[in-house]
Amino acid sequence: MGSNPVTWLGSPVFPKAAKAALADTQLRRNLRKATHTIRDKRAKAVAELPDWEQLRLAGEAIKDDVLSNLDTYLERIEAAVTARGGVVHWARDAREANEIVLRLAREAGTDEVVKVKSMATAEIGLNEALAAGGIRAIETDLAELIVQLGHDRPSHILVPAIHRNRSEIKEIFQREMAEKPVSDEPRELAEAARRHLRRKFLSAKVAVSGANFGVADTGSIVVVESEGNGRMCLTLPEVLITVMGIEKLVPTWQDLEVFLQLLPRSSTAERMNPYTSVWTGVTPGDGPQQFHLVLLDNGRTDALADRVGRQALRCIRCSACLNVCPVYERTGGQAYGSVYPGPIGAILSPQLVNDMHDKQAASLPYASSLCGACYEVCPVRINIPEVLVHLRAEAVEAKGRTPESVGMAALGWLFADARRYENAQKVGSLARHLAPSGRISSLPWPGSKWTSTRDVPTPPAESFRTWWRKNRG
């Protein structure tokens, strides 16, 4: 297990974690209902726009420009934020970012920070690092709050508590809140969370957020959300600390036009998200009077160096790929052992870990049937199957000689020569005498992985090429 907290320490490899998740019938039901609902809504929201494909192409082009000229844009946003009274910090990895935030919170003289939902801070394990330094981090997004109060882990990028249904949420709230909800009605649960959080908003001195976009030209930071908790955090406390991955930049204000259409329709299936907060540095007498921007690398420049893999850095964290993925729908997010689950997680997490000798990370690119549903919905056209296969090749290389690699080489040798191949067909065809019923129900390992649930047809007496040779050759 590597040192990058993007994958959770001690997580089993994907097939093992998936096996446990698949047996949880309540989880299966919760996931199926949630993913199908949001999947169908997204399809409707996207179908409303006749220029959706052009928007995707534009999103891809803007992000590719950012990634190709990242050094320029990063220096530009640093200058712009500094000019408007903000302070820019550079963090090479999770540890550096956590240290910066912890130091800033201590300097503000607080032992509690409120948080806007943020993938970057989840990726670096900020809450745990702050706790170790004696500072409580309070999640204010409803789903993050459910995960935090449930002493649980997130299972989705946008809806981290997607694996929970409302009666499970009621139980968590009743156990953890001072003013307990009386029923599992959504309205009652939301009201309980509101009462719980309102006190925190009004007393917090420091807020920590992530960022959806950072405009290089102006230094403006953008956070989009649905609940209004973000707006509270971003405006009420004296000190605001934003942790932003270095790939979150857009060059100009105008580029937001593209992403503020792509993101809400892809993620929540809304034409527009309810709250869009934008701030630029510090405005005297209005909002936080101290603004810190922590620019986070944590494996991103390594990913950027990979010609095929770098497209994962276009990701705007919409979750559309999770919602359509037939694997994610069945295993849920926790099986991926990372804050980034689903198809995007399967290509992003191993790249951020950047160590294919890490068995858990190396198992993630195989957590896909390569059906391509993710690529089809991705608003920035990340060819996820292409990157999955690319990372599989890296995993194979890291593993060296294995029974699988020997088998693959043998098959390659067989396929290199048609005569050799035909002879092998003839030998294999003898297996039909072992199973006169026409189906084989049990094979030795590794074939047993197939025959545990599926029959195999017996090979016919004559392959097609043998027939062709006799009749047409």
Binding site for other proteins (CB under 8 A): 14-15, 18-19, 22, 28, 326-327, 330-331, 366-373, 375-376, 389, 392-397, 404-405, 408-409, 411-412, 414-418, 421, 425, 428, 438-439, 441, 446, 449-450, 452-457, 459-460, 462-465, 467-469, 472-473
Beta bridge partners of 283: 286
d(CA 294, CA 310): 22
Of 190 and 370, which has the nearer Cβ to other proteins?
370
Minimal distance, residue 204 CB to other proteins, in Å: 42
Whose Cβ is closer to other proteins: residue 87's or residue 371's?
371
User: Least CB distance from residue 376 to other proteins, whole Å?
Assistant: 6
Q: Quick one: 83 or 411, whose CB is closer to other proteins?
A: 411
Q: Toward other proteins, which CB reaches closer, 131 or 409?
A: 409
Q: Which is nearer to other proteins, 193 or 367 (CB)?
A: 367
Residue nearer to other proteins on the CB measure, 235 or 466: 466
| Phi (first) and psi of residue 240, to 5 degrees | -120, 125
Question: In the complex, what is the shortest distance from the CB of residue 38 to other proteins, in angstroms, rounded to a whole number?
Answer: 15
CB atoms closer than 10 angstroms to residue 438: 10
Minimum distance from residue 16 beta carbon to other proteins (Å): 9
Q: Of 348, 77, 413, give the one whose Cα is nearest residue 214.
A: 77
Give whichever of 198 and 449 is closer to other proteins, judged by the CB atom: 449
Cα separation of 170 and 194, whole Å?
A: 14
CA distances from 244 to 98, 182, 212, 348, 398 (A): 12, 38, 8, 16, 31
Question: With contact defined as beta carbons under 8 Å apart, do 314 and 67 qualify?
Answer: yes
Closest separation between CB of residue 331 and other proteins, Å?
6
> Taking the complex as a whole, how short is the minimal distance between the CB of residue 337 and other proteins, in angstroms?
14
Residue closer to other proteins (CB basis): 280 or 451: 451
Find residue 87's DSSP bridge partners. 292
- Which lies closer to other proteins via its Cβ, residue 136 or residue 439? 439
On the question of a cis peptide bond just before residue 446, with omega within 30 degrees of 0, the verdict is yes
Residues making up the chain, counted from first to last = 473
Closest distance between other proteins and the C-beta of residue 7, in Å? 18
Residue 233 C-beta: closest distance to other proteins, Å? 38
- In angstroms, give the least distance from the CB of 36 to other proteins: 9
Min dist CB 162 to other proteins, Å, is: 17
Based on CB atoms, which residue is closest to other proteins, 190 or 408?
Answer: 408
Nearest distance from C-beta of residue 48 to other proteins, angstroms: 21
- Between 151 and 454, name the residue whose CB sits nearer to other proteins: 454
Q: Are strands 456-457 and 439-440 parallel, antiparallel or unpaired?
A: antiparallel
